[in-house]
Amino acid sequence: MPAIAAGAIKSGASFYWHLGDWRAIYNFDEDIEHQPEVLAKPLNIAGYEDLAWKDFIANQLMAFGTLPVYLAIGNHETIPPKTREDYLIQFADWLESPSLREQRLADDPRDFQLKTYYHWIERGVDFIALDNATLDQFDRSQMAWFEKTVQAAALNPQVRTVIVGSHKPLPESIALTHSMNESPDGVESGRRVYQDLLKLQNQSHKHVYLLASHAHYFMDGIFNTEYWRSHGGVLPGWIVGTAGAQRLPLPSESASARIAETNVYGFLVGTIEPDGQAEFIFQHLQESDIPSSLVERYTPGFVHWCFAENSVAH
């Protein structure tokens, strides 16, 4: 993540959007285990659970400096003992940033409730972050909020582009087994969100793009499936799960994607053209991109392990 932060800043990005899974929670993260102070005094489970999110803030978020960072909740943020309530408290400074607070109150001057989903409009683009971290989502409240937000975007002539980010990909993607297809509620509500976005594109003539994480590889063209080709059309979509988690094998249908790569690290850079069209380019990270201070802190051997062996995709 510090290397991603450096790359994002160097690219001239306006902000960085992280689509979830800060820490493993169900097990110790390898980088925490290899911190010199932890090697000297290993953590117990309670110590790890107390440290995990604080370490994410200190060693990942702080690397972005003054570059704004937007956060979307992932399933690992809800692994016990972590809860949505814990998430809202710990990350309130990011979820209540000036741009998000101003947008929420512009939408509804009486809405003073912090939520795990949000949106903001910036330079003609409506960025919508959804919460599908658990199998019961999208619930009724979030669906009502989302459809109200999409309807407002459709009627707003200043909004040319809508970009939706969620941790899990919407249903019926190439990443079928690692998506909202994991539950019946996810399939039903996720299909509805997708159809809402198709309508936004086809009837309101907005440019629509879908970003996700969850699966630990990179893929461009995730909705080029038989289901969506026969149920309204294919929306542009990406999976970017390449920020440090254990890399996974590509799904069997990955040949249908425009690009599919595993055993890579990196980040996606989006550029919005004056007419609202977006171009997304994946920026690969190499072992040499890791800051020298981190190589010294974690040792060259461990840094090399992260690139050479942190994978179940062979």
pLDDT of residue 238: 98
pLDDT, one tens digit per residue, over 251-305 is 999 999 999 999 999 999 999 999 999 999 999 999 999 999 999 999 999 999 9
Contacts of residue 291, defined as CB under 8 A and 6 or more positions apart, other chains included, come to 2, 3, 6
Over residues 166-178, mean pLDDT? 96
Residue 243 has pLDDT above 90, yes or no: yes
pLDDT, one tens digit per residue, over 73-119 is 999 999 999 999 999 999 999 999 999 999 999 999 999 999 999 99
Q: What is the mean pLDDT of the chain?
A: 96
Over residues 159-167, mean pLDDT? 98
Residue 247 has pLDDT above 90, yes or no: yes
pLDDT of residue 314: 74
pLDDT, one tens digit per residue, over 28-69 is 999 999 999 999 999 999 999 999 999 999 999 999 999 999
Q: How many CB atoms lie within 10 A of CB 253?
A: 16
DSSP code string of 29-89: -HHHHTSHHHHHS---HHHHHHHHHHHHHHHTGGGGTTS-EEE---GGGGSTT--HHHHHH
Going by the DSSP 8-state scheme, the letter that residue 263 receives in this structure is S
Going by the DSSP 8-state scheme, the letter that residue 167 receives in this structure is S
Predicted TM-score (pTM) of this structure: 0.96
Residue 307: band (very low, low, confident or very high) from pLDDT cuts 50, 70, 90:
very high
Residue 220 to residues 212, 213, 233, Cα–Cα distance (Å): 11, 12, 16
First vs last C-alpha separation in the chain: 23
Residue 105 to residues 98, 118, 221, Cα–Cα distance (Å): 11, 11, 35
